[in-house]
Amino acid sequence: MNKELLLENLRTVPDFPIPGILFFDVTTLFKNAACLRELEDALYDIYKDKGITKVVGIESRGFVMGALLAARLEAGFVPARKPGKLPAETIQESFAKEYGTDTIEIHKDAIAENDVVLIHDDLLATGGTAKAAYNLVKKFGPKEVFVNFILEITNLHGREIFDEGVEVSALLEVEE
């Protein structure tokens, strides 16, 4: 993986969405075909032999690589969305973020007990969003759950919020 290419194309936005937050914008990686291919290949290499049957992408930037990876792994794709966006019966999980609270939900029939699930999002900061998605997925009782991010802000220690033994990975690491 060409980490230099990815880091060179990563945009940072100070004071977004509120003053004091340095926002790492991965959409600049998505608009660059070479970066998009690097991300897809790197993620595929990590998970190609893990038996993944479902990829859960967290709204909304987690949908991009989550869906690409699901297709490449020949797995299903499950969107984890904000309330009111999914048309059928759902289960929800609320969580605290570094600048507020939020809720995500997944369709009740999205995951089965025999599934091996990969949860994917763009960024790991404090871990609230991904932990909520992890808690939702665990309610389905799947065989195994993996958690992945494009970028981890290491000095925020979001990785520590996950249960011991959960494989959490990030393609890139930065400090805020």
Q: Which candidate in 40, 98, 167, 173 is catalytic?
A: 98
pTM score: 0.95
CA–CA separation, 129 and 80 (whole Å): 10
Torsion of CA 101, 81, 171, 97, to 10 degrees: 0
CA–CA separation, 173 and 128 (whole Å): 18
Q: Which candidate in 61, 81, 93, 105 is catalytic?
A: 61
The predicted structure's pLDDT at residue 126: 87
- Fold adopted by 50-171: Rossmann fold (3.40.50)
CA–CA separation, 148 and 118 (whole Å): 7
Query: For the chain, which residues score pLDDT lower than 70?
Result: 98-99
Asked if 105 contacts 92 with a C-beta cutoff of 8 angstroms, the reply is yes
Asked if 41 contacts 51 with a C-beta cutoff of 8 angstroms, the reply is no
pLDDT digits (tens, 9 = 90+) for 71-98: 999 999 999 999 999 999 999 999 877 6
- Cα–Cα distances in Å, from 76 out to 111, 118, 159, 160? 9, 10, 25, 28
- Cα–Cα distances in Å, from 131 out to 22, 49, 67, 89, 115? 21, 24, 20, 21, 19
Tokens of 85: 């966006």
Q: Where are the domains of the chain?
A: 50-171
The predicted structure's pLDDT at residue 99: 64
Q: Catalytic: 152?
A: no
Q: Catalytic: 89?
A: no
